[in-house]
Amino acid sequence: MSSTHNNGRAVFNTKFGAIATTVGSAVGLGNIWRFPYEAGVHGGGAFMICYLLFVLLIGVPLLCAEFCMGRGTRSNIFGAYKKLGDGSISHIAGPLGIIASLLILSFYSVVAGWTVEYCLSSLTGGLDFSNREVGHGQFLNLTTGWRPLLWTVVFLIANFTILISGVTKGIERASNILMPLLFLLLVAFCVNSFFLPGFEEGMKFLFTPDFSKITSGVLLGAMGQAFFSLSLGLGCMMTYASYFSSKNKLGKTAATTALLDSAVAILAGVIIFPAVFSFDLSPEAGPTLVFEVLPYIFNQLPGGMIWSTLFFLLLFLASLTSTVSMSEISITYFCEEKKMKRKGATILSSAIALVGGLLCALSFGALSDFTIFGMTIFNLFDYLSSNICLPIGGFICSLFVGWWVDKKFIKDQLTDYGKYKFPLLGLFRFCVRWLCPVAIFIIFLNSIGIV
Ligand code: TRP
């Protein structure tokens, strides 16, 4: 990752590099694909307000907590819990993080595969959404059947190649330029939204909270989305922080990550919902929402084909920087705890994700009728990991950092051994000790109908 080493582990050279990589992990399909679909399913404004509150009150403190654990121990998730506590917690949190990260990698690769498919179809002029019948036929053709299987495999191979060939640095450098470009493109599409006939209705849907719509499902969905989008709960940010240099201000890095990540999600919402109402589509379409809606927007833009190709290409790259971070959780674990070689560990993680990914891809085609608890395999993987595993991981992390870990250790991490101030230390402590665990616990009980 760089030329500087710390206890035998690589360290990011610059503060910017650390922030860019952390943001690269956070910003991805979670913001542009998952956020609009979850907001659409959960009533728009009600979901939005809960989501933002969770990012602020649970997300930022937990980011700081994961950063402290990662940089302070310079370990993977399992090693970090082991070094700071006793083995028993690491035996719960470690496997939870590894299993959930592989579940996420599976379904994430399917959606990332769609972005490859859409990018190539746009490039060859095949993405024709000129009217609803043609558009829907195209959409089904691109996201069901055998083709998604192929693109899932292609995406996982791309991910594997990056992980194994050590071009991580190259992709990081590329993403430092390309992610701001993606941001600019999103801003341009937002401006375009303003001129769509459904702009007002879309904005109302997204930003007017109807408090009567806040149900246990909305709370759980919004909490899961906050965790997913910030890459929290599985030790992903912990692993990345283990590469931070001691100069990194952890609080500032956490706040910047949360701010940029939420900004991208909101931009995506502002692009999607006016279009949903302009083209008479349903906000409740679920996981396929963005792929059904975006082509209509591109179609009515001058030079739509170019916009569309560029957009899906950038989205594909944003997905890669996220899956690289996700894969790193299991790879560092297999290497550092199971003493595997990096190559073997990468092959093992990719092979598991490949099997899971193919099952998820099939759940839009041949396995679409196969459901467990009323969910397809794809939806089950998404729900289990985002709404169950990530919050449990966050719950364990907050209790651990709040009650178990030495206070001085945390303070030293947040202030770089007193070199600079961290004025919100009291608030941080309150959040990790009380607010995060209690909120996560209540939302859980609520969603299974106990409270
Ligand atoms: N945050 C990423 C996104 O929004 C996805 C992601 C990357 C993730 N690493 C993770 C989610 C670790 C959960 C845990 O696209």
Name the nearest CA neighbour of 257 among 437, 392, 397, 55: 55
CA of 300 from ligand 1 middle (Å) equals: 32
Mean residue pLDDT of the chain comes to 90
List pocket residues of ligand 1, CB cut-off 6 Å. Answer: 25-26, 28-31, 104, 228-229, 231, 234, 236, 322, 325-326, 390
Alpha carbon of 105 to ligand 1 centroid (Å):
9
Q: Would you say residue 146 has pLDDT above 90?
A: no
Q: For residue 1, name the pLDDT band (cuts at 50, 70, 90).
A: very low
Q: Residue 6 above 70 pLDDT?
A: no
Residue nearest to atom 6 of ligand 1 (CA): 231
**330 CA to middle of ligand 1, Å?**
14
Q: What is the pairing mode between strands 5-6 and 9-10?
A: antiparallel
Q: Phi/psi of residue 375, each to 5°?
A: -120, 145
Look at ligand 1, atom 7, and give the residue with the nearest C-alpha: 322
Give the integer Cα–Cα distance in Å for 233 and 69. 12
**Residue whose token pair is 């379409």:** 285
How many A from CA of 431 to the centre of ligand 1? Answer: 22
The DSSP letter of residue 387 is I
- Model pTM score: 0.93
How much distance in Å is there from the Cα of 126 to the middle of ligand 1?
30
Residue 366 has a pLDDT of: 86
CA-to-CA distance for 385 and 354, rounded, in angstroms?
A: 17
**Position 310 confidence tier, pLDDT thresholds 50, 70, 90:** very high
Sequence letter at residue 56: L
Q: Of ligand 1's atoms, which has the minimum distance to the CA of residue 319? A: 15
179-210 exposure pattern, b = at least 16 Cβ within 10 A, e = fewer: beebbebbeebbebbeebebbeebbebbeebe
Ligand 1 nearest atom to the CA of residue 323, by list position: 7
pLDDT tens digits, residue range 428-444? 999 999 999 999 999 98
pLDDT score at 177 = 80
Q: Is the pLDDT of residue 256 over 50?
A: yes
- Which pLDDT does position 275 carry in this prediction? 95
The ligand 1 atom nearest the CA atom of 232: 14
